[in-house]
Amino acid sequence: MKFQKRTWSSLFIIALLLLLSACSGSDEGSTGKENSGDSDEASTQKITIFQSKVEISDQLEALAKEYTTETGVEVEVWGTTGDDYFEQLQIRLNSDQGPSIFSLQNVTEAEKMKSYVADLSSEAYAKDIAPGMELKVEDKIVGVPYGVEGFGLVYNKDLVKPEDVADYESFVSTLEKLKAEDITGLGLSKEAYFLIGHISNYPFSLQSDHYEFIDKLTSGDVTMAETKEFQEFGKFMEAIKANTPSPLDVTYDKEVGDFAAGKSAMIHQGNWAYGMLADFDVDFEVGMLPFPLNGTDKLAVGVGNNWAVNGKKDEAETKAAKDFLNWMFTSETGHRYIVEEFGFVPALTTIEANDLDPLSQDVLNASNSGQTIPWAQNYYPANIVPNDFAPKAEEFFLSKDMTGEEFIENLDDAWKNAVK
Partner 1 sequence: MQNKNNKGWYLLFTAPLFIIFLTVVVIPFVIGIYYSFFKWDGIGANPKVFVGFDNFIKLFGDTRFLESTWKTTLFTILAVISVNIVGLVFALLVTSKLRTSNAARTMVFMPYLIGGLILGYIWQFIFLDVFTLIGEVTGLENVFFNWLIDMDFALYALVFVFTWQMAGYIMIIYIAGIQSIPNDVMEASMIDGASWWQRLKNITFPLLMPAFTISLFLTLSSAFKIYDVNLSLTGGGPANSTEMFAMNIYNEIFGYGNYGYGQAKAIIFFLIVAAITLTQVYITKKREVEL
Span from 87-95, 160-168, 257-265, 268-276 in contact with partner 1 (CB under 8 A):
87-95
Contact flag: residue 97 with partner 1 (CB under 8 A): no
Q: How far apart are CA 43 and CA 156, in angstroms?
A: 50
218 contacts partner 1 (rule: CB under 8 A): no
From residue 51, give the alpha-carbon distance in Å to each of 28, 57, 257: 26, 8, 25
Q: Of the candidates 230, 205, 206, which has an alpha carbon nearest to the alpha carbon of residue 378?
A: 205
Q: Which of 158, 215, 249, 253 binds partner 1 (CB under 8 A)?
A: 249
Q: Is 33 in the site for partner 1 (CB under 8 A)?
A: no
* Exposure on the CB side of residue 287, measured as CA atoms within 13 A: 12
The DSSP string of 304-361 is --EEEEBTTS-HHHHHHHHHHHHHHHHSHHHHHIIIIIS--B--BTTS---S--HHHH
DSSP classification of residue 399: -
How many other C-beta atoms are found inside a 10 Å radius of the C-beta of residue 192?
A: 21
The Cα 411–Cα 420 span in angstroms is 14
Contacting residue, 392, 409, 411, 415, with partner 1 by CB under 8 A: 392
Instruction: Compare residues 113 and 339 and give the one whose CB is closer to partner 1.
Output: 113
Coil vs helix vs strand at 187? strand
Nearest approach, Cβ of residue 94 and partner 1 (Å): 5
By CB under 8 A, the count of residues binding partner 1 is 32
| 382 belongs to the binding site for partner 1 (CB under 8 A) | yes
- Smallest distance, partner 1 to C-beta of residue 7, A: 3
Query: Judged by CB under 8 A, which stretch of 8-16, 31-39, 237-245, 366-374 contacts partner 1?
Result: 8-16
Which 297-356 positions form the footprint of partner 1 (CB under 8 A)? 312
| Binding positions for partner 1, rule: CB under 8 A | 1, 3-4, 7-8, 10-11, 14, 84, 87, 90-91, 93-94, 112-113, 115-116, 246, 248-249, 312, 382-383, 386-387, 390-392, 394-395, 398
